[in-house]
Amino acid sequence: MEKMKVRDLMVPVDRFPKISAKASLYEALSSLEEVQEAYLSEKSEYRILLVEDEAGHVIGKISPIDLFLGLERNYAKVNYEESLRNFGLTYISDSILKVG
């Protein structure tokens, strides 16, 4: 039996939407909303953004929850579900609950 390799499971980088590392938080939020709409309309398989440096190299990723956690300094004390609902981002908590 042949052993499966990582490359057999990976998703090519070009299938993900991307954003510049120099983008503002507002641009990231707007882009994440667009990605979510594309995901819901089945135009995209992914709801994250890959972050690229000036040379176009992927240096990380950002998801809606990453953005939220970065904005909320006291995130350990936050009621995420309520906060996300207040911001109109219930799809984040819904997807977290489905996974967990």
Q: Encode pLDDT of 11-26 as tens digits.
A: 899 999 999 999 998 8
Full-model pTM: 0.66
| Domain ranges, ordered by start, for the chain | 12-62, 64-100
What is the phi/psi pair of residue 50, to 5°?
Answer: -85, 140
Inter-CA distances, 13 with 7, 23, 56, 57, 98, Å: 12, 19, 11, 10, 25
Does residue 51 contact residue 19 with C-beta atoms inside 8 Å? Answer: yes
pLDDT, tens digit, for every residue of 28-53? 989 999 998 998 898 888 888 999 99
- SS3 (DSSP) at 27: helix
Cα separation of 70 and 66, whole Å? 6
